[in-house]
Structure 1
Amino acid sequence: MPRWSTLLLDDASLAEMPELPLKDVLRHADLVTEQQPQPQALYERWEKQQWSAQAIELGPDREDFDKRLPKAARKMIEESIATFIIGEYTGLDLLGPILTGAPEERDHLYLGTQIADETRHTQLMLRLGEELLGLDPDPKRMLVQAWNMVTPAHQELSRVETEIIRELQQHPSDYRRWLRAVALFHLITEGVLALVGQRAIVNSLHGIPLLAGLKAGFTAMCRDESRHVSFGLHALRQGVLEGYGDDIREIIELAAPIALNIEEGGEVDSAPQGLTMKQLGIESLYRQLRLIGIEKEFADHVVDLSALKPAAEEDR
């Protein structure tokens, strides 16, 4: 393993990932985003951080999952994998128009790497669905099975994503609509939902000598996510400086309360004070809004809206 550093995950191989110190995995994306890397630097990180979804050995994981894992842990993993099957596959649809509408050449080049990442993540999720959960091996049928397993809030967020991306597809050169799509996908879906979910899985399996393939895959995805979220924050920071802050706030106000109420995976027991997924998502939201230059008062407002969301759903 490489020498210790605060960014130990940067240089770790796939085989080394299950043994990395937990805090280094959980803090990695925060450290990277705080550096505010530019698209070219993110491209260069991508070239150095390749891994193979096919190289992960899942046979022992299936034995662990079927015979050794407690029932509650199996349910948490099943729900989380179903969510990521939908999320990663949907990411491919969302990123196409975002790539096409990229305002700068460096943005365009970087986004090509993210599409490659989402393809790799989708391939891993399809393998986990088939080889770990026993879902239908046909991707189309598996996606239907996974859709029926995810929470209503996740389904609602997916519908919002479809509407925002459709707008961008119809107006591919509209910078305002491009920023709205980036705010939804990179900041909310990736930065609040996916990153927190990936960390929760890695966190819940820490110290358990089981599911090494699952640990390696989700740790590698955490590293990829640090690049994805960093790009989104870079683009949105520019958008705020150029006067598009209200458009970005509008999308966050719409989507963040939905994302914060997607609580698959439940409590993250070894996180400070036994934080819930929602609490971890709120922390991530505050951090990212600060990094793009949006005031804390707006973040407070969005968090207050998320507290009202469940009651509103009960009234339907």
Structure 2
Amino acid sequence: MTRWTTLLMDDAQLSELPNVPAADVLRHADLVAARAPKPIELYQRWERQQWSAEDLSFGRDQVMLNDERVPAGIRAMLSNAIATFIIGEYTGLDMLGPILTGSPDEEYSVFLGTQIADETRHTRAVFRMGAEVLGMDENPRTMLAQAWGLATPAHTELALLEGRIVREVHERPMDYGQWLQAVSLFHLITEGVLALVGQRVLVHALRDINLFDGIKTAFVAMCRDESRHIGFGLHALRTGVKEGYAEQIYGVLEEAVPLALRLDNEFEGIAVDFRAMSIDILRRHLGAIGADPAFISHLLDRHDTRSKLHTA
């Protein structure tokens, strides 16, 4: 028996990432979060885990995406994932400015500066995938409009909620409770559930396929970055709960969680396991920040089909 560690995922160079076992990728964020790293530790991880969106190669991926020998389900899943992340990564870049401006702590600000760099790199990576793999317009504004044309109603509603919360942070940058609501929405929901689950599903789907190495490399690298972002969000929210701001955090989660879980039903071909994964991740995240168990049950049990089956 050998001990599992995060070292392989932590220390792999960009060219090695497609060969990291899928199980290591899937568990990485959970193990990083379990260590409860402080912002300075997350900054130090960022220093060691640099990569370049310009070093990704998508030529072969574009050919394979149009090859009818590749299962149609895989090709559709990749196309939908790329379009979704075009919206998500650019939205993340847009949201982080006010979150950084309203940061209540110097070490928080240092880490958030690294996250803005990450979101910039992710945005460039998915813009390249959109143009070079999907054949979308190279102009970012036009590409975003094309990607929004594929968005689901729940995705649109969640984006409107994000816009409202970020505007409020921008208008009241020194309001700590408002800042925690933005972190709840962005780090816990958008990053900690939607992005993480989407990346995990894609990596899992490609685990046995010796194709799409460019896409696989990009998403594994993004998963590793996401581990740091989620770790920061859990630290900030755990601190906020201890300082008496639980109700503000709970308020935005009441709005956001049903929208996030609706996304599972609005993408054709999504398996029940996708929804179960989202609920399991949410339950762990909420426990990690010290949320009241009664609130966690109130928020999640009505969405968890397994709980309903168990109590039926």
Q: Residue 49 of structure 2 corresponds to which residue in structure 1? A: 49
In the alignment, which residue of structure 2 is the partner of 1:313? none
- Structure 2 match to 1:32: 32
Give me the whole-angstrom Cα distance separating, in 1, the residues matched to 2:82 and 2:157. 18
Unmatched tracts of structure 2, length 5 or more: 306-312
Uncovered stretches (5+) of structure 1, i.e. residues with no partner: 269-274, 309-316
Change in 2 beyond 3 A, CA 1:10/1:175: same
Aligned equivalents of 1:112, 1:287: Cα separation in 2: 26
Deviation of 1:265 after TM superposition, in Å, equals: 7.4
Q: Aligned pair count?
A: 300
Task: Report the CA distance between 1:295 and its aligned residue.
Answer: 2.5
**% identical aligned pairs:** 54
The within-5 A match list for 1:88-127 is 88-127=89-128
1:286 aligns with 2:286: no
Deviation (angstroms), 1:266: 4.2
SS state at 1:210 partner:
coil
Distance 1:295 1:19, change over 3 A: same
Q: Which amino acid aligns with 2:60?
A: P
Deviation at 1:64, TM superposition (A): 1.2
Q: Deviations over 1:102-136 (max 9, x none)?
A: 01110001000000000000000101111111111
Partners of 1:195 and 1:225 within 8 A in 2: yes
What secondary structure sits across from 2:208 in the alignment? coil
When structure 1 is superposed on structure 2, of 171-180 and 3-12 the one drifting more is 3-12
Q: TM-score, normalised by structure 1?
A: 0.92
Letter paired with 1:32: V
Distance 1:300 1:266, change over 3 A: farther
Q: Indicate the RMSD between aligned Cα atoms, in angstroms.
A: 1.6
Contact 1:36 1:230 in 2 (8 A): yes
Q: Which amino acid aligns with 1:285?
A: L
Q: 3-state SS of the aligned residue for 1:36?
A: coil
Whole-Å separation in 2 of the counterparts to 1:209 and 1:153: 33
Aligned match of 1:69: 70
**Residues 165 and 132 (structure 1), Cα distance of their counterparts in 2 relative to 1, 3 Å cut:** same
Runs of 4+ deviating beyond 6 Å: none
**Alpha-carbon distance in structure 2 between the residues aligned to 1:266 and 1:127:** 26
Q: Which residue pairs with 2:310 in the alignment?
A: none
Cross-structure match for 1:14 = 14
Shift of 1:7: 3.6
* Cα distance in structure 2, aligned partners of 1:190 and 1:51: 19
CA contact (8 A) 1:266 1:277 kept: no
Determine the structure 2 residue equivalent to 1:249: 250
Q: Deviations over 1:51-96 (max 9, x none)?
A: 1111011001111111142212111111111111001001111100
Q: 1:277 aligns with which of 249, 274, 282?
A: 274
Which secondary structure does the structure 2 equivalent of 1:16 belong to?
A: helix
2: distance between equivalents of 1:133 and 1:253? Answer: 36
Shift of 1:16: 0.8
User: 1:168 & 1:286 partners in 2: Cα distance?
Assistant: 26
Q: Which residue of 1 aligns with 2:219?
A: 218
